Structure 1
Amino acid sequence: MLNNKKQPHAYMVSKNEKGYLIFEVMFSTICLSMMLIWLGQILILWHQNENDSLPQVYHFHHLIELEAETAESISVQHNQLYFIQTTGERVTISYHNYKIRRQVDSKGQEEIVRDISDFEIIDRKFDIVIRIKTQSGEAFEKYLFKKGL
């Protein structure tokens, strides 16, 4: 008669595959975890794009602190901040065309922050208040204590 011998197929399960299911579950769990982590990072980057000005403003605050630490004197005139450094250089922080810029001895200009809708410097008895409002509507304040008081 006919030779009815069964041939193994790709979709047949044999008895020698013990533990294959646990490997499959572990592999899919790792892949799913990696995709969730990746999705989380994309969501964080997407959210940060809405707040582009935040790192720039923090950089501005840090730069102002460094200038204040090394300055012999700090003064305010016409909504501009002046630092007289120990080397004799005069550093000016000013606002122009929606940008805050830094200038040393009236030579050149370094842009520190952009997309600023309002910049205000308030000279008080013991400190100086710097108020910044971005074009996206965020508001920030920085306080500098005057030296020698």
Structure 2
Amino acid sequence: MKVLVMIKGEGADEDKVAPTDEMFAEMNVYNEQLVNAGIMLAGEGLKSSSNGAKVVWDTSGEVSVVDGPFTESKEIVAGYWIWQVSSLDEAVEWAKRCPSTPELRSELEIRPFFEMEDFAQVVSPEILAKEQALVDRVKEQHG
């Protein structure tokens, strides 16, 4: 099963702690363990919300763009991993080993990806085939 592991923090705290050499070293050890175990497919940290934007659709269909920072947000996603694991329990066990920063409250949220077969009962085979063709093209383009 493929899962997205989101590294979450509190919006108001996102610029309070700068990464240190020690933090990078600890995370590098952890990432190396994930790679050696063969479960890490991708993973990156995200710049603070002050570097981002939100695109918002309201109930009337109007679209607006809100520039960061998003300090009013209770939670922000600070980074992520994509893992290939045998079960949600395995992902939880790996997540529990993640280094943390004592100064800040943070959490990891683990969410499984949908697989094509999850939609087999509700989507036509033709649409699933088109979607799979797009997935295959993305893999060809980006590896």
Name the larger-Rg structure. 1
TM-score of the aligned structures, taking structure 2 as reference length? 0.23
Q: Tell me which protein shows more strand as a share of its residues.
A: 1
